[in-house]
Structure 1
Amino acid sequence: MKIIVFANHLAVLPALGHFQKNDWLQAVISTDKLQGHNVQIKDYCSRASISFYQVSRKQLHEDLVLTLNNLQPDLAIMFVFSYRIPEKIFNIPKQGFYNVHFSLLPAYKGPDPVFWQIKNGETMGGISIHKVNEDFDEGEIVMQQQIPFIPGENWGICNNRYAMAVQNMLIQFTQELYSGNNLPELQAQQNSTYYKRPEKQDLTINWEQMSAGEIENLINAANPCYGGAITYLNHQPISILEVTPATLSSTADYKPGMIVHSQPDSGIFVACKQNEYLRINVVQTTDGILSGFKLAALGVQAGQSFETVNIPEPNLT
């Protein structure tokens, strides 16, 4: 079996290793947007002498069509790929072109389903393998696996867990095709929903409107892929990467976002709606990644407040 993998995320590496071990992996294709830790895909292919292509949107519609017609793959599998696959490509593989998606489709269609599921406080997620057609995440679902979210896990931990689970799914999936078995079309068990890629407003903490649990979910969803959830302190942006729920004996009615305790030996505690509190564990500022203890030691004091929106700089011209 000759397999082409389209991937832009390093979570694909376990699956690449399996395909390579079975001598099935014909080539790996990434986009020209490959960057950061995901460059490990290119490095892996270089070390393993696997054909690797990086394509622009234009090349996807032109040069790559010729390349795939020459390779004549049996199967193509897509795993986080930011360009829409044209029909003249997804019809080339003899046994089909399939996409791996980290949700129980048709729920949470879109480019970052893990972010939105964690942010929305879902307790059950999963992985879907579906056929690729002209629309994003719309093709027939042929395999699914439910996977519960671990309370308190962040985006990175969840993606790593899913990457390992996907390897086992793909082993089963490819073995079924290799054996000549037909894959059944599964009936949808979820309502259809679509979520766009998160923008700045989606990543910003609204202390007045969000509960402590919702704030924690947002922070976990944004760590590490978006550098944490955004807030402001002394009119300066600060990203919060980790918090834990906290209990304080005070009966005072603090304004949401107010720092109610700040000591170098115990850290920083902030008030939320409905007399709930969060302990600030890890933040990122222009000074670097800091613990709440360090932030307190640097002079952040009780009585200061995290702000929901940035206050515009004064016009000095």
Structure 2
Amino acid sequence: MEKQKKIMVLCGGKFAFPSLQLLAYENFICGIGIGQGNDAIIDALERKSEDSNISFKSFPNKKSISEMRVWIDNIQPDYIFCISFPFLLPEIVLSYGQDKFINFHPGPLPQYRGPMPIFEVLKNQETETAICAHFMNAEFDKGNIIFNDPIAIPAGETYGKLTVKLSDRMAQVTLNMANMLQFASSIPNQPQDESLSYYHEKPELSDTYINWKRMSATEIVALINACNPWNTGAHATLQGEQVKIIYASLLNQFHNNQPGTIVSITNTINIACEDKKQIAVEIISTDCGILTPPQFALLYPVIPSTVI
């Protein structure tokens, strides 16, 4: 019987936990490295690694990556999996072995390169995303693709719900990859089609801001969902106040108001959009705290026909 492959996992935090648990249960993991994790997550992983006799190392910043090659050489893994590891691996680390490093990107490649593909696919109203397994090189998300594992995006999906779904699916995808490496003599792969490629930078304030006069109701709801919960909602100006809209849905009612006008407040804050449709806001964050629509109405009385 062939000896069990040893796999080291480099990760960025909680997103990788289901994969780590499943790979450890199947006795694949020989080492865990975490980059830029918070103290609670680092402590939890370190304790779990010690209990399971798995090597553990934290890489808190880019400078610390210089220590990675020595650590890898000491452990001698057969493969290194990356799951949301925040730092680019330099050639000195990648030279450990060709096709030894496999990244699991939570978005389809090459169309959704970048650090936050979950935000981008939701903002762009995609109906499907993917977990892409690809060999790594010295550039972010550019190595040869092994496979894209498609995942449907239901209507109304938020960043948080899709992240949990992808995290759970990632566990099975990484285990399948480990089993392929255990039994296959070679792994089919192909170069990425650069004509389809796009690198999405980390979102800035302007990427999370609702422009009432330029965005349709559907685009606004998609942006709000894409910002919930990582950005605590989408930025907006409402009643002259800077707020964040955390949750909203499309309202099947037309209007004749200026975009950005509060049409009415009942159990929802109904806001006019540029395409003559409305959105119904259910949760909103202000300087006074996270509010329901009736609470918002008490603190910020609506001025009829106010243009935002």
TM-score (norm 1): 0.87
1:261 matched residue in structure 2? 264
> Structure 1 residues 96 and 291, CA, compared in 2 at 3 Å: closer, same or farther?
same
Query: Superposition pairs for residues 201-216 of structure 1, below 5 Å?
Result: 201-216=206-221
Provide the residue aligned with 1:232 in structure 2: 237
Conserved 8 A contact 1:76-1:93: no
Structure 2 CA distance, aligned partners of 1:116 and 1:162? 14
Q: Map Cα deviations across residues 24-61 of structure 1 (whole Å, 9 max, x no partner).
A: 22222122x3238xx4364144135243322221120x
For residues 77-226 of structure 1, the aligned pairs below 5 Å read 77-92=81-96, 96-186=100-190, 191-226=196-231
Query: Closer, same or farther in 2 for the Cα pair 1:91/1:306, shift >3 Å?
Result: farther
Distance (Å, rounded) in 2 between the aligned partners of 1:294 and 1:181: 63
Q: 1:306 to 1:106 in 2, by over 3 A?
A: farther
Aligned residues: 299
> Contact 2:212–2:274 (CA<8 Å) still a contact in 1?
yes
Task: Verify: 1:288 aligned to 2:289, yes or no.
Answer: yes
Whether the aligned pair in 2 keeps the contact of 1:260 and 1:302 (CA below 8 Å) is no
CA distance in 2 between counterparts of 1:306 and 1:16 reads 51
Which one-letter code corresponds to 2:74 in the other structure?
Answer: N
- What amino acid is the match of 2:245? I
Q: Rate the CA distance shift 1:248–1:52 in 2: closer, same or farther, 3 A.
A: same
Partner amino acid, structure 2, of 1:217:
A
The yes-or-no answer on 1:244 pairing with 2:249 is yes
Match of 1:275 in 2: 276
Task: Give unpaired runs (5+ residues) of structure 2.
Answer: none
* CA RMSD between the two structures: 2.1
Q: Secondary structure at the match of 1:273?
A: coil
1:103-139 Cα deviation digits (max 9, x unpaired): 2211111111111111011112111000110111000
More deviation in 90-99 or 158-167? 90-99
Alpha-carbon separation, structure 1, partners of 2:79 and 2:9: 9
Equivalent of 2:72, from 68, 72, 80?
68
Distance 1:164 1:87 in 2: 31
Aligned residue runs from structure 1 range 21-32, under 5 A = 21-31=25-35
| Code of the aligned partner of 1:121 | Q
Q: CA deviation at 1:233?
A: 3.1
Q: Say whether the 8 Å CA contact 2:270–2:278 is kept in structure 1.
A: yes
* Paired letter, 2:283: V
**How far is the alpha carbon of 1:289 from its aligned partner?**
1.8
8 Å CA contact 2:135, 2:145 repeated in 1: yes
Distance in 1 between residues matched to 2:240 and 2:270, nearest whole Å: 19
User: How far apart, CA to CA, are the structure 1 residues paired with 2:272 and 2:161?
Assistant: 27
Would the aligned equivalents of 2:15 and 2:84 in 1 still touch at CA under 8 Å?
Answer: no
Q: Tell which deviates more after alignment, 39-48 or 224-233.
A: 39-48
Superposition pairs for residues 26-45 of structure 1, below 5 Å? 26-31=30-35, 33-35=36-38, 39-40=40-41, 42-45=43-46
The one-character-per-residue Cα deviations of 1:171-199 (angstroms, maximum 9, x if unpaired) are 11100101143211147588211111100
Structure 1 window deviating more from structure 2 (288-297 vs 219-228): it is 288-297
Compute the displacement of 1:287 (Å).
Answer: 2.2
**Are residues 118 and 305 of structure 1, via their aligned partners in 2, closer, same or farther at CA, if it must alter by over 3 Å?**
farther
Match of 2:23 in 1: 19
Distance 1:305 1:183, change over 3 A: farther
Distance in 2 (alpha carbons) for counterparts of 1:305 and 1:14: 48
Q: In 2, Cα distance between the equivalents of 1:216 and 1:247?
A: 13
Identity %: 27
